[in-house]
Structure 1
Amino acid sequence: MTVPAQTRTCDVVTPVARSVGRVSLYEGFEARFGLPEERGGWVLCSEFTGGPERFDAWREALAEWLREQYGEAPDRTTAGYVMSWYLGVVGMAGGLLFHSERRVPSLRPADVAVKVAWGGRPHVVGLALLAEEFACLPDDPEADHPAATVVADETALAALLRARFAAHAAAFVGVFGPTVRLGRRTLWAAATDALDSAAWTAGQLCGDETAGVADSALLLPAKLDPFTSASTLRATGTGWTRRRESCCFHFALPNAEPCATCPRLP
């Protein structure tokens, strides 16, 4: 069941802050505009992309948890988890507002922050948008706001989100890639999965999965570099599913099975 996310904003009320305040996410996942005075587990994405040390620390914390749970922590599994978590939350930061508000926020690393649960399983439990600027359609009720950039139509708005996400993903690939034994194709496959899943998941959370699927097709209408495929969403007899482009390497853990959408499965 989807419940309203724990949403908070800082004292500055902007169109982006209002958009974030209206979204629904997973129970226990915090979405906000601006950072709290006490940072806690919040980390600026620019602090991650500024050097590999924070990614190394994240993987070390994950390895400790995996060893407690499974007895082993393969390097490719810690790399795959962190890759998927990081790109997934950045994709969601854009896809959620695109689906729910037809707005695209700034996704520069300095304008996004993530909250990591450092105690126990160190997964992402929050996202924050930090910049007032946003792009929107001509009929947006706040299209005349000084922070707004108006684009012609939904296709142009989707292209802008795709470009902003790709720029952030490129910064991630440039820093994270040299520290792990994952090829460039695998890293961009994970970015493709994150973007393709973002609007679809937003549709599920906002109560209109089919509209989310349509938004995914807008974002990835074809194989567009640097992404590795068009949207892979497809209808089945029981609903929607998609073929993953990347692997999180969960299967490498002792007695673990591949995920249902793992590209290693037929």
Structure 2
Amino acid sequence: MLTQDSQPLVVDSAWSPLAATIARVSALDSLLAAVVLPAPTADWLRISDLLDPTAQPVWFDELLTQIMARYSLRERRTAATFLFGSYAWYVMASAIASYLSDRRVPSIAIEDMAIRFDVHGDEPHIQVALLTPGFAALPDDPAANQPMVTVCANLDELREHLRNQIETHMQVIINFLSTQVRSGPRGQWNMVADTCAEIALWIGHQMGDQELACAEALSLIKVAGSPMRPSPTRYMTLTEGDHCETFRMRGSCCLFYKIPTTNNCNTCPLLSEDERIERLRTWMQHDHNHDHDHSHN
């Protein structure tokens, strides 16, 4: 289990032990943050409501318009890819972090989540709320005997539960996008795999065990029959002088190069292997203080 320190898991919560886990992973980094809300206030949007097939997705068109203006983009499909990449990150981050830190998997079903959008920063930002106290855990979890907890027999079963949660949620979103913009599911599933791998890499960095976190991510996305498995997502570890760093090598293009003032990401699959390695070595020669850049490395 990834642990940041030796402090015991705190399970005292007015509503759910899950709140303690989410608070812990949120404190690691804002990119992993989520909140646990039994009843979202009016400024939160339930994902199930946003995706209601009987409703007109005006919100989606408005978001794409804002993203296109923010980045000087010409194509709706590019804006949708930007939005999808950020959405996948923020929806999955707290669940993967909870799994890696406390071996707990919250429900990320669309009916159990709410979100808030902010497209005015450096990239589309999404705040995430979990609406149910339930979660899956291992038999030795301190809260395993509580009725809100689904007990998985072992770590493989818990990881499978997490994967099913991710794939079920993202399939709904990919289906929705196919009705709004012309984008094939293969590239989107590759992006989901990329995002899982990058989240795990970042959590591993934050918690001091990237090797274990990366191994967990590959066990999550490289499962027979999974729509994530065909993605060429992988990790590469490079050494430059006394600096050794592991990078997530993309299986999908995030279309970042479509922004007029930018180029391809350093790990873009549209670049040759040699060029990616050369770019990453150049990046390593500068002091980046391990700044996280889940979109553009």
The alignment's TM-score, normalised by the length of structure 1, stands at 0.84
Q: Deviations over 1:134-183 (max 9, x none)?
A: 11111111111111111111111111100111000011011112212221
What is the percent sequence identity of the aligned residues?
27
The one-letter code of the counterpart of 1:159 is E
Amino acid at match of 2:110: P
Following TM superposition, by how much is the alpha carbon of 1:30 offset from its aligned partner in structure 2, in angstroms? 4.5
Amino acid at match of 1:55: F
1:166-208 CA distance string (max 9 Å, x none) = 0000110111122122212112112222222232222223333
Aligned in 2, Cα 1:263/1:223: closer, same or farther, shift over 3 Å? farther
C-alpha contact (below 8 Å) 2:39/2:131 kept by paired residues? no
Q: 1:56 to 1:143 in 2, by over 3 A?
A: same
Q: Which moved more, 1:159-168 or 1:191-200?
A: 191-200
Tell me the residue number matched to 2:98: 97
Task: Indicate whether 1:135 and 2:140 are aligned.
Answer: no
In the alignment, structure 1 segments of 5+ residues that lack a partner are 1-10
What residue in structure 2 maps to residue 8 of structure 1?
none
Is the 2:38–2:133 contact (alpha carbons within 8 Å) kept by the matching residues of 1?
no
Q: Distance in 1 between matches of 2:203 and 2:218?
A: 14
Corresponding position of 1:7: none
Name the SS for the 1:182 alignment partner: coil
1:28 to 1:218, Cα distance in 2 relative to 1, 3 A: closer
Q: Who is 1:183 aligned against?
A: 184
Correspondences of 1:9-28 after superposition (within 5 Å): 12-23=14-25, 24-27=27-30
For residues 65-76 of structure 1, the aligned pairs below 5 Å read 65-67=70-72, 72-76=73-77
The answer to whether structure 1 residue 253 and structure 2 residue 232 are counterparts is: no
Paired residue secondary structure (1:263):
coil
Shift of the 28–189 alpha-carbon distance from structure 1 to 2, 3 Å rule, reads closer
More displaced 10-residue stretch of structure 1: 189-198 or 57-66 = 189-198
Alignment of 1:12-51 (within 5 A): 12-23=14-25, 24-27=27-30, 30-34=33-37, 38-40=41-43, 42-51=44-53
Q: Distance in 1 between matches of 2:40 and 2:156?
A: 38
**1:243 partner letter:** M
Asked if the contact 2:40/2:131 (under 8 Å) is kept, the reply is no
| Rg (Cα) greater in structure | 2
Instruction: Say if 1:220 and 1:230, in contact at 8 Å, map to a contact too.
Output: no
- 1:107 touches 1:165 (CA, 8 Å); kept in 2? yes
225-234 vs 180-189, which moves further: 225-234
Aligned to 1:166: 167
Structure 2 CA distance for aligned equivalents of residues 234 and 107 of structure 1: 29
Retained in 1: the 8 A contact 2:232–2:250? no
- Report the Cα offset of residue 83 of structure 1: 1.1
CA RMSD of aligned residues (A): 2.4
Is 1:243 aligned to 2:249, yes or no? yes
What letter is aligned with 1:43?
L
What is the rounded CA distance, in whole Å, between the counterparts of 2:62 and 2:176 in structure 1? 14
Work out which structure has the larger RCO, using CA pairs closer than 8 Å and 6 or more positions apart in sequence. 1
| Partner Cα distance (1:119, 1:173) in 2 | 24
Taking the TM superposition and a 5 Å limit, the aligned residue runs for 1:100-115 are 100-115=101-116
The alpha-carbon deviation at position 115 of structure 1 amounts to 2.6
Q: Which amino acid aligns with 1:33?
A: V
Aligned residues: 251
Alpha carbons 1:111, 1:130 under 8 Å: kept? yes
Aligned-pair CA distance for 1:111: 1.1
Report the Cα distance in structure 2 between the residues aligned to 1:122 and 1:239, rounded to whole angstroms: 25
Report if the CA contact (8 A) 1:34-1:128 is conserved: yes
- Cα distance in 1 for residues equivalent to 2:233 and 2:155: 17
Give the whole-Å Cα distance in 2 for the aligned partners of 1:101 and 1:39.
31
Preserved contact between residue 35 and residue 128 of structure 1 (Cα < 8 Å): no
CA distance in 2, matches of 1:29, 1:99: 12
**1:192-244 Cα shifts (integer Å, max 9, x gaps):** 22222232222223333223212212312445422133751232222111221
Once residues 31 and 247 of structure 2 are traced to their aligned partners in structure 1, the CA distance between those partners, rounded to angstroms, is 25
